[in-house]
């Protein structure tokens, strides 16, 4: 699952161009594949209403426990044949967790349009970040600590807002999340391109979480600002 680091013209500790391209190609394929279980999980959640009761603190606990459990399992299996199935199971779980918001948005008269707009917006962000990552020459590793601080601030704010239930708070958190995780997308793509990430399962997990958070935040923002009631 992990490409070996090799000696090239730049010396030890760098991954050659062929290995970097292989990691990037495998990451893109697995990322595309990971969206299928996400869609399936979201559809199942909406169709059955299985996540309807997961509101407030209960939903938060289930989400955090499930996500952390899966991430631990992915980390343990990323260099084995079980890594891809575990990652796909995680993306199915994330689709289930997303289904409650999707069901709420579908309750609007223009719900389907909002979902497609959020999807198109997320795809646009990914295209822009991928283009920037392939053209920027400078090292972006210094971004990591600032992005981590931003992500922690969003997480803490989100947990507080689950209990406060502020619409304005949700809008602020969503805008912040779109900015932070778009930047994370650029950082993670640049890590792959520069050879800083040599395991395509880990790379896929990082990019998937970036995309998931941007999409979820866009959808929340569109639902709050553009949802049309019957």
pLDDT for res 165 = 79
- Paired tokens of 107: 């309750």
Per-residue pLDDT for 88 more than 50? yes
CA angle 14, 210, 74 (to 5 degrees): 70
- Paired tokens of 8: 């090239």
pLDDT for res 10 = 41
pLDDT for res 5 = 39
- Paired tokens of 184: 């994370």
- Paired tokens of 38: 């996400």
Q: Domain coordinates of the chain in residue numbers?
A: 17-226
Residue at token pair 């955090």: 64
Per-residue pLDDT for 3 more than 60? no
Q: Cα separation of 174 and 159, whole Å? A: 13
Q: What is the mean pLDDT of residues 25-49?
A: 94
Per-residue pLDDT for 8 more than 50? no
Share of the chain above pLDDT 90, in %: 57
The count of residues in the chain is 230
CA distances from 172 to 53, 97, 165, 220, 224 (A): 25, 21, 13, 11, 11
Per-residue pLDDT for 135 more than 50? yes
Q: Cα separation of 213 and 219, whole Å? A: 10
- Residues forming a β-bridge with 8: 11
For residues 146 and 2, the model is more confident at 146
Q: pLDDT tier at 13 (50, 70, 90 boundaries)?
A: very low
């Amino acid at each position: 699952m992990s490409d070996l680091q090799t000696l090239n013209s730049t010396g030890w500790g760098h991954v050659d161009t062929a290995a970097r391209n292989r990691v990037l190609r495998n990451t893109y394929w697995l990322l595309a594949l990971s969206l299928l279980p996400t869609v399936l999980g979201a559809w199942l959640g909406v169709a059955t209403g299985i996540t309807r009761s997961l509101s407030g603190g209960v939903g938060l606990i289930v989400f955090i426990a499930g996500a952390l459990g899966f991430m631990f399992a992915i980390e343990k299996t990323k260099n084995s044949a079980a890594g891809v199935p575990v990652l796909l199971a995680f993306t199915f779980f994330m689709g289930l967790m997303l289904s409650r918001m999707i069901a709420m948005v579908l309750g609007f008269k223009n719900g389907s349009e909002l979902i497609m707009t959020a999807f198109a917006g997320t795809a646009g962000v990914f295209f822009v970040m991928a283009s920037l990552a392939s053209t920027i020459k400078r090292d972006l590793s210094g971004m990591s600590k600032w992005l981590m601080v931003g992500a922690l601030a969003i997480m803490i704010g989100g947990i507080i807002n689950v209990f406060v239930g502020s619409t304005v708070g949700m809008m602020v958190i969503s805008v912040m999340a779109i900015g932070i995780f778009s930047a994370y997308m650029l950082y993670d793509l640049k890590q792959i391109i520069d050879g800083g990430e040599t395991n395509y399962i880990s790379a896929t997990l990082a990019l998937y979480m970036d995309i998931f958070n941007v999409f979820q935040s866009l959808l929340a923002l569109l639902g709050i600002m553009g949802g049309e009631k019957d």
